[in-house]
Structure 1
Amino acid sequence: MTALDRYIRLEAAGRWREAPDAAWREVLVSFGNATLVLSSFDEEPLTHWSLAATGRVAFDGGVALYAPDAGTDEVLEVRDRDMIEAIAEVSRMARVRGRAAPRMRRLRRLLLPAAVATGLAALGWAAPDALRARAYALVTAEQAEQIAGRIRAALDRPACLTPEGRRSLRRLTGRAAPGVRVEVMAWDAPPAAILPDGSVLLSRRLVERAPAAEVVAGWLALAAAGGRDASALRGWTRDLGVTEAMAFLTSGRIGPGDVAEMARQTAGQTAPPAPAAVAAAVAALAGRGIDPRPFLDDLRRRFPDLAVPAPPVPEGLTPALPRDADWVALQNICES
């Protein structure tokens, strides 16, 4: 049993403040999947913090003060001793796993060529499609993260980072796609794109011009539903020749030209989404109490020929961003 397994049902009251000039708010603190979840006492999720990044910044008189990452003004105050001990243990284990995983992946990457080289030639010449599928399947999480970083660099587009906008983006992400890394990029299209590591890039134009936060939430949920299979990495491996696929399997290297092509595809996606992905996004929104209709209206406007479902309106809907100030801050995230 892991530390998270022991504490998964633990809850405690705390006080949360988004910024130094904001009022303290009473919240319910609990554990999610690799996250610390802050909710209202009506069980409305307010934000999710990565356990690996959460750090205790002060401890005085039995009161612990936490922050979600370095350089943020957002803080959480906890007085419950059991919760303080749980956060310390679970966060420590999350950081240990984060450090240990790259070492194990590096070892796997060193041993993989020797393990697969014998059978690659026969597999490649007999079944090239199977070889390409194998090349894609064997991309590790560490490799996917590295490729995503290189694609970001090749895009050469700045991410929008105003502090108020980032806080609103974290809040919206916690509602629409918990645990997903999201950035707003200074580009016009596509509305949302997925990188090989599963992180999502939202378009500045989408955020600034959307009539409601539910539209942005829908595109975020749509990109998250597609996952790595919707990234340019998938298309790149499909187009590999036999020799290139074997070279990638044995070395794990991708040339600068290939990265540039993946960046071009990432920033140039214009095809309508797959109906299955739309259905998954709509189900995710409805399951989290977000009205999917504004997002579906935006899809119909962009892709008139796309068969967009008309789902029944679920009960218990709440605004994707409850406060108007949060929506205004998100729309101004690119205003430096």
Structure 2
Amino acid sequence: MTALKKYDRLEASGLWRASHESQRRDVVVSIGNATLVISDTRDQAITHWSIAAIHRANPGKRPAIYHPDGDPGETLELDSNEKQMIDAIEKLRRAVERRRHSPGRLRWLGMAFSISVVAAVGIFWVPQALINHTLNVVPKVKRVEIGEALLDRIERLTGSACDNPAGIKALATLRARLGADKLSVMPGALQNSLHLPGAHILLNRALFEDFEEPDVAAGYAIVEQHISRTQDPLRALLEVSGTWASFQLLTTGALNRDVLDGYAEYLLTDGRPPPAPETLLPIFENAQLRSTPYAYARDITGETVLSLIEADPMIGKTPKTLLSDADWLRLQSICGG
């Protein structure tokens, strides 16, 4: 990847769109530090693509069309007269591909390249800055892939996510009522709730089977979603897994098995403190959900969650129905119990 130095001032004009439904826009394309930088005509950066995760939709044809790994809806089109930029991108893609096919050499080259980037831009001397840079260039589709890989490893330890068809349908109803991220119910060996990269929330079956009303599970779901949206779950993974995991994701677009296995075990055993009760009241108010059932589920005495009980935003109001009685019964049996 020392070839980056050759192209550090190379620019080209292109057409970019964010999705299949979006209009194409005139953009300026340049090569940055391990990324392809796409800017508008006023030189304002629109997005960064990791060079390690760029795919070509029409190999050998012109105009050349590129997209991020796993997201063919977002495209960049370079006309035939931008031959120098197309050749540069292809050369860098070939370099990345050779590194992927040489596992032993990959470790040395990845480290050498990363160190050269650190020396060139200075910012990467600080591990936190490296994490920030990595988070900026990882596309959403890659976050979903990492979340699914983590779920696969968690399921090996807890058992597969509960999949009773009637319960799954009721869970979808609950998710729609809450406006929540993707929900899964796990059969055991799990804290009350967890969240994964890619907007995926895991709930323990006990939240459905040990309580007489759905408000408890719903409360844990919206609180977990709040944590996920205020504390980037991919950042947490990289901070726990160490600097090498950030280098790895930045340069290869993937995380190896050991990193994923280690973090899955960490998620199941980490005794993280719950959010401060007073910070959660707006969350329950926006969801039109009673906070009292969730509060007593956290602390049966109510002493440590008194604000959630005394300032319950639904006191004196009629909250929107969460589930019908039939759907709640189906949801309580989602794990076959």
| 1:326 Cα deviation after fit | 1.2
Name the TM-score, length of structure 2 as normaliser. 0.59
Q: 1:101 aligns with which of 73, 77, 88?
A: 73
Contact 1:198 / 1:227 at 8 angstroms: preserved in 2?
Answer: yes
Residues 234, 302 of structure 1: alpha-carbon distance in 2 compared, 3 angstrom cutoff: farther
Matches within 5 A, 1:145-164: 145-155=144-154, 156=156, 157-164=159-166
For residues 313 and 201 of structure 2, the distance between their equivalents in structure 1, rounded to whole angstroms, comes to 27
Q: Sequence identity of aligned pairs in percent?
A: 20
- Structure 2 partner of 1:311: 311
Partner amino acid, structure 1, of 2:73: A
| 1:192 Cα deviation after fit | 1.1
Partner amino acid, structure 2, of 1:148: G
- Structure 2 partner of 1:295: 294
**Mean CA deviation greater in 165-174 or 227-236:** 227-236
- Structure 2 partner of 1:284: 283
Residue 335 of structure 2: SS of its match in structure 1?
A: coil
Q: 2:322 aligns with which of 320, 324, 333?
A: 320
Matches within 5 A, 1:55-204: 100-101=72-73, 119-121=117-119, 122-123=121-122, 126-155=125-154, 156=156, 157-178=159-180, 180-204=181-205
Residues 168, 140 of structure 1: alpha-carbon distance in 2 compared, 3 angstrom cutoff: same
| 1:176 Cα deviation after fit | 1.9
Residue 250 of structure 2: SS of its match in structure 1?
A: helix
Residues 240, 201 of structure 1: alpha-carbon distance in 2 compared, 3 angstrom cutoff: closer
Matches within 5 A, 1:221-260: 221-227=222-228, 230=231, 233-239=234-240, 241-260=242-261
Contact 1:120 / 1:246 at 8 angstroms: preserved in 2?
Answer: no
Residues 261, 301 of structure 1: alpha-carbon distance in 2 compared, 3 angstrom cutoff: farther
For residues 226 and 263 of structure 2, the distance between their equivalents in structure 1, rounded to whole angstroms, comes to 20
Partner amino acid, structure 2, of 1:101: G
Q: Is the radius of gyration larger for structure 1 or structure 2?
A: 2
For residues 73 and 302 of structure 2, the distance between their equivalents in structure 1, rounded to whole angstroms, comes to 42
Contact 1:176 / 1:284 at 8 angstroms: preserved in 2?
Answer: no
Contact 1:195 / 1:231 at 8 angstroms: preserved in 2?
Answer: no
For residues 99 and 207 of structure 1, the distance between their equivalents in structure 2, rounded to whole angstroms, comes to 36
For residues 140 and 262 of structure 1, the distance between their equivalents in structure 2, rounded to whole angstroms, comes to 20
| 1:214 Cα deviation after fit | 0.5
Q: Deviations over 1:123-155 (max 9, x none)?
A: 355322211232234332111111111111111
The Cα RMSD (Å) is 3.6
Q: Deviations over 1:93-122 (max 9, x none)?
A: xxxxx9633767xx9x969x8xx9674444
Residues 284, 306 of structure 1: alpha-carbon distance in 2 compared, 3 angstrom cutoff: closer
Name the TM-score, length of structure 1 as normaliser. 0.59
Residue 130 of structure 2: SS of its match in structure 1?
A: helix
Partner amino acid, structure 1, of 2:220: W
Residues 193, 241 of structure 1: alpha-carbon distance in 2 compared, 3 angstrom cutoff: closer
- Structure 1 partner of 2:44: none
Residues 99, 258 of structure 1: alpha-carbon distance in 2 compared, 3 angstrom cutoff: closer
**Mean CA deviation greater in 158-167 or 222-231:** 222-231
For residues 269 and 211 of structure 2, the distance between their equivalents in structure 1, rounded to whole angstroms, comes to 20
Contact 1:124 / 1:242 at 8 angstroms: preserved in 2?
Answer: no
- Structure 2 partner of 1:60: none
Residues 301, 332 of structure 1: alpha-carbon distance in 2 compared, 3 angstrom cutoff: same
Residues 243, 216 of structure 1: alpha-carbon distance in 2 compared, 3 angstrom cutoff: closer
Q: Deviations over 1:167-219 (max 9, x none)?
A: 211111112234x2111111143111101001111111222112310001001
What is the count of residue pairs matched by the alignment? 234
For residues 301 and 254 of structure 2, the distance between their equivalents in structure 1, rounded to whole angstroms, comes to 37
Q: Return 5+ residue gaps in structure 1 as ranges.
A: 5-97
Residues 229, 249 of structure 1: alpha-carbon distance in 2 compared, 3 angstrom cutoff: farther
Residues 258, 304 of structure 1: alpha-carbon distance in 2 compared, 3 angstrom cutoff: farther
